[in-house]
Structure 1
């Protein structure tokens, strides 16, 4: 059949629905009648393919499988491998160990799975484990993943202040445990980023108008993850020196962290120039207030400086996002 091209005007009905007419010749040749359904496929190049819909029509999911042969002495490396393949977008991971799976390997795999959303053991035998991702990451907005990470970091900062003020070690210890949850969402974000880059349709489902926007969102997520790591380091330092700390000084430092964090989040999410200036001012104010201690081996000041630098990195991600939106 000779290819033909048609030009149609886009019409709008209601507040948010757009419609376009189909060529009569195509409708008749496809045997379609009024009320019948057609299938619209959003292609990776941004175009749309239209064809008659049948009940058998289902979106085809790309199955990516990798097999790992683990030697008895290599159990220690399974964590990084699982995280790497998970973030790379693999749907099925097969783990084999001869002559049989050691109990150490089984336990290590189960421990790692606690940090990887949606990856589950679906089949198990004496020498093999089959892991499969049972959630569709493309159906979860990437902003929702980031919001969860923001909430975890926010709770860590607030509980640092609360734990110090109340001298409550239980509160402080809970901050360290929370870092695993933060890592879990960061790994999931990495997987979402890979899936978005590989398919425009998936990117749209995740709320990205342009696939390239995944880059500043991934950068932002990395900043949040590193903020969590920094807060864990601060917490461990406090727990190890709880009887030698200046509470008022610590609370002053944490106030800087809290305010900088909230303004940085506002800058990235709302494109607020006021927030950008606020973060910059707090950053400068902190270094002026603690200028003497910065050049001394003070773990608290160094960690706080790292956290504030990450807030500045968030501003850079904000600028990158703005540039991509406007281009």
Structure 2
């Protein structure tokens, strides 16, 4: 159905509502409608529009710790608001530590990883989980900035620890890791409900899942340093790579990536594969190559935002 736009004043445009819809909803002159503007559409409603509730019931009896962790992660950022987990056993196998662990204790630990996830009901063989969005944290840019500053702070603390007491930093590595991944998964959950285009969502999903993988590699990197040490050569390489990632993260927020920054990336890539590393140094360096690869996702996100905004007056995201 198409409607013509009419002008009823110097700067006022009007469109009529379909007669059938007006009669079906018994609308009269003076009634109020809620208006929900989108990027390429606009929705009128008689009542406040509510997001569709996504619910699921899973039998986790055959699961192990790894599979349950991944399921909850995906259900969370896919915006499931009600998750019911049933199980016939009260223990679950942890393959990493090769032992049986309590299902209730595991679910409590896993739910604490996610902002707004709460266990609301629990019996011997069932756990009901609800996931809520916090009104004050629904703005994507606000969450992006929080992730940005958390990332910056943790990387600065890490580089300082290489000159002082890395052992102490390493003892808190899971806390550092979980602090950022908690906000990354929350960002993905908010993104799913946002009015971003599908193209934007796809690219931002890719970018922030890459940041999540970077934090996993960051944890592995610290394990390697604790085991093999960190020589001045690898320390300088780590410093250069983390500073570059931080610069690209900053460029993403500014919406502009320079040719100089791209050249710096390629110089570091050549350095990472051409230096004469010892076997121990190579084990450490191999853990951080994903950071150089991840820069592509920052660049794609900047370019996509440029295309969506479609503003020819802006400086191109990559220029010579």
Question: TM-score under structure 2 normalisation?
Answer: 0.76
Alpha-carbon distance, 1:111 to partner: 1.2
Q: Pick closer, same or farther for the CA change 1:230–1:293 going to 2, 3 Å.
A: farther
Q: Pick closer, same or farther for the CA change 1:176–1:133 going to 2, 3 Å.
A: closer
Q: Is the 8 A contact 2:60 2:87 kept in 1?
A: yes
Distance 1:144 1:118 in 2: 16
Query: Where does structure 1 lack aligned partners over 5 or more consecutive residues?
Result: 14-18, 196-201
Give 3-state SS (helix, strand or coil) of 2:172's partner: helix
Distance 1:138 1:315 in 2: 29
Distance 1:4 1:162 in 2: 62
Q: Which of these residues, 2, 6, 9, is aligned with residue 8 of structure 1?
A: 6
Partner of 1:74: 63
Q: Which of these residues, 226, 229, 232, is aligned with residue 216 of structure 2?
A: 229
Distance 1:325 1:4 in 2: 26
Alpha-carbon distance, 1:169 to partner: 1.9
Q: Is the 8 A contact 1:293 1:301 kept in 2?
A: no
Q: Is the 8 A contact 2:54 2:79 kept in 1?
A: yes
Alpha-carbon distance, 1:115 to partner: 1.5
Partner of 1:311: 295
Q: Is the 8 A contact 2:7 2:13 kept in 1?
A: yes
Q: Is the 8 A contact 1:79 1:108 kept in 2?
A: no
Give 3-state SS (helix, strand or coil) of 2:49's partner: coil
Deviations 1:47-85 (A, max 9, x none): 33446x5xxx332331211111232x6353322222222
Give 3-state SS (helix, strand or coil) of 2:35's partner: strand
Give 3-state SS (helix, strand or coil) of 2:275's partner: helix
Comparing 210-219 with 314-323, greater Cα deviation is found at 314-323
Matched, 1:259 2:232: no
Partner of 1:293: 276
Matched, 1:38 2:21: no
Bigger helix share: 1
Alpha-carbon distance, 1:324 to partner: 4.4
Distance 2:300 2:225 in 1: 31
Distance 1:12 1:163 in 2: 65
Alpha-carbon distance, 1:182 to partner: 2.1
Distance 2:227 2:180 in 1: 23
- How do 1:1-327 and structure 2 match up within 5 A? 5-9=3-7, 20-21=13-14, 30-33=27-30, 37-42=32-37, 46-50=40-44, 57-71=47-61, 74-76=63-65, 77-98=67-88, 101=90, 104-135=102-133, 140-193=138-191, 195=192, 202-204=193-195, 208=196, 210-242=197-229, 245-246=230-231, 248-274=232-258, 276-285=259-268, 287-288=270-271, 291-293=274-276, 298-326=282-310
Alpha-carbon distance, 1:113 to partner: 0.5
Comparing 304-313 with 219-228, greater Cα deviation is found at 304-313
Alpha-carbon distance, 1:129 to partner: 1.4
Partner of 1:16: none
Distance 2:255 2:2 in 1: 44
Alpha-carbon distance, 1:294 to partner: 6.2
Query: Where does structure 2 lack aligned partners over 5 or more consecutive residues?
Result: 92-100, 312-320
Deviations 1:191-211 (A, max 9, x none): 334x3xxxxxx423xxx3x34
Q: Is the 8 A contact 1:157 1:231 kept in 2?
A: no
Cα RMSD, aligned residues only = 3.6
Alpha-carbon distance, 1:132 to partner: 0.9
Q: Pick closer, same or farther for the CA change 1:172–1:39 going to 2, 3 Å.
A: same
Q: Is the 8 A contact 2:3 2:15 kept in 1?
A: no
Alpha-carbon distance, 1:229 to partner: 2.0
Alpha-carbon distance, 1:149 to partner: 2.5
